[in-house]
Amino acid sequence: MNRIGRALFALAALICLAWLGSGAVAAQDAPTSGPVEEVTLNDVNEVARDLWCPLCSGVRLDACELKACDQMKDVIAIKLAEGEDAASIKDYFIEQYGPQVLGEPPREGFNWLAWILPFVALALGGVFLWRQTARMMRPAAETSAADAGVAPPGAQKQTEDDYARKLDEELAKYG
Amino acid sequence: MADLSDIRSETPDAQAPAPASGMVVVWRAIFVGILVLFVVLLAWRLWDTNKSEHRASGMAPPFTFTTFEGETISLDDLQGQGVVVNFWASWCDPCRDEAALLEQAWRREKDNGIVFIGLDYLDQEPAAKAYLAEFGVTYPNGPDLRSEAARRYGIKGVPETFFINSAGEIVQTVIGPIVNEAQMEAYLAEIRP
């Protein structure tokens, strides 16, 4: 595996670790299920902040003051009081309003682009930076020769010697 | 005899591209390919979205829904009858202006081959049921889950009402509340079988 291949592999491994890590954190954040004696506004907003107003454009449910959103928050309170956890409440709203109600695109179909493209851009950017850095760290003479598309000075001198020797030999034949 | 052209041909080509330039071309091709693919996918999605945002006309798009009482109703099952499809929501104030008139018309027309259907748009069941109880609505009503019917009919808000004749064609579309009894009667006359 060449240097670029190793770099890409390391980058992909880092992305996977970051992704798995974020999933684990999200799972830890989810409220645990079970009957809740008293549901506070903070409890409701904890769930509502991961949902979006289905009528507005780009307004989170916890920040929306529409009547429709107040009704949604009422339902969240009822479901929390019944002991439902955040995940099942979100599933309920997805069933009601579709995946648009989530604050993030669901990981399926065309929406995968939204998840993959940033990482692809990051990987391509990383490869570009890696190559640029490697080029900058090469000796100046080698770099300029490579940029000019010609052999290094030593090799060029050798070529000139061969050429001169061959020319002398041919001239000697007819001289 | 070897001439000078032969000698020249044996001289290493000083202008030959370095091996690295081949990789650059490949990377550029990959980058441009991804960019083009992304733009094409975006354009396709935009076209698809615009197509589904047109308000329905001509043949009524089929839909199936389950009422708050649990009965499943499909538009296809209502062939041969006039159908009034009303999109509403409990949070919608203008919907309240027409609720009583819709119920009144339904009670009058249900024996004349006209079916009224209420599709609850982006609403919550407790509030929706309270609304139906408040206006004594008895015709079939249910949630439009995931706004599937709303998208097919291309509604831009609530209330919107579609009058569908017995052949399944949309003959009238009313945007906003129907508050005039004569207007309601004129629309119903167009779909009465």
Residues of chain A contacting B10 with CB distance shorter than 8 Å: 166
pLDDT at B154 over 90: yes
Confidence band, pLDDT 50/70/90 cuts, at residue B18: low
Closest Cβ opposite residue A166 in set B7, B15, B89 = B7
8 Å CB contact of B7 and A66: no
Name the helix (H) or strand (E) containing A119.
helix A112-137
The least confident of B42-46, B129-133, B157-161, B172-176 is B42-46
Cα-Cα-Cα-Cα dihedral sign, residues B184, B189, B190, B193: positive
For chain A, which residues score pLDDT lower than 70? 1-37, 139-156, 175
Domain residue limits, chain B: 2-53, 57-191
User: Is A110's CB within 8 Å of B41's CB?
Assistant: yes
Q: What is the pTM of this model?
A: 0.66
Task: Write the Ramachandran bin of A2: left for phi over 0, alpha for psi from -120 to 50, otherwise beta.
Answer: beta
- Place B189 in a pLDDT band, splitting at 50, 70 and 90: very high
pLDDT at B109: 96
Measured CA to CA, the distance from residue B66 to residue B51 in angstroms comes to: 27
Query: Does the predicted interface ipTM exceed a cut of 0.90?
Result: no
Measured between beta carbons, the chain A residues lying within 8 angstroms of B36 are none
CATH of B57-191, one of 3.40.50.450, 3.40.50.10470, 3.60.20.10, 3.40.30.10: 3.40.30.10
Residue of chain B whose alpha carbon sits nearest to that of A71: B124
Which residues on adjacent β-strands are paired with residue B66? B72
Chain B CB contacts of A54 below 8 Å: 122
Dist. CA A73–CA A61, nearest whole Å: 8
Would the CB atoms of B122 and A97 count as touching at under 8 Å? yes
What is the β-pairing status of strands B169-175 and B160-164? antiparallel
Handedness of CA B105, B106, B108, B111 (dihedral sign): positive
Distance of residue A52 Cα from the nearest chain B Cα, in angstroms: 12
In chain B, positions 159-188, which contact chain A (CB-CB < 8 Å)? none
CA-based nearest distance B60→chain A, Å: 22
Cβ atoms B136, B103 nearer than 8 A? yes
pLDDT in tens, B43-70: 888 887 776 678 999 999 999 999 999 9
- B106 or B16, greater pLDDT: B106
DSSP labels for A59-75? Answer: -BGGG---HHHHHHHHH
Q: Which pLDDT belongs to residue A151?
A: 57
Do B2 and A170 make contact, defined as CB atoms within 8 angstroms?
Answer: yes
Residue B158: per-residue pLDDT? 96
Q: What is the pLDDT of residues B113-145, one digit of tens each?
A: 999 999 999 999 999 999 999 999 999 999 999
B-interface mutation test, from A96, A127, A171, most B Cβ less than 10 A away: A96
For residue B8, pLDDT over 80 is answered with no
B162-181 mean pLDDT: 96
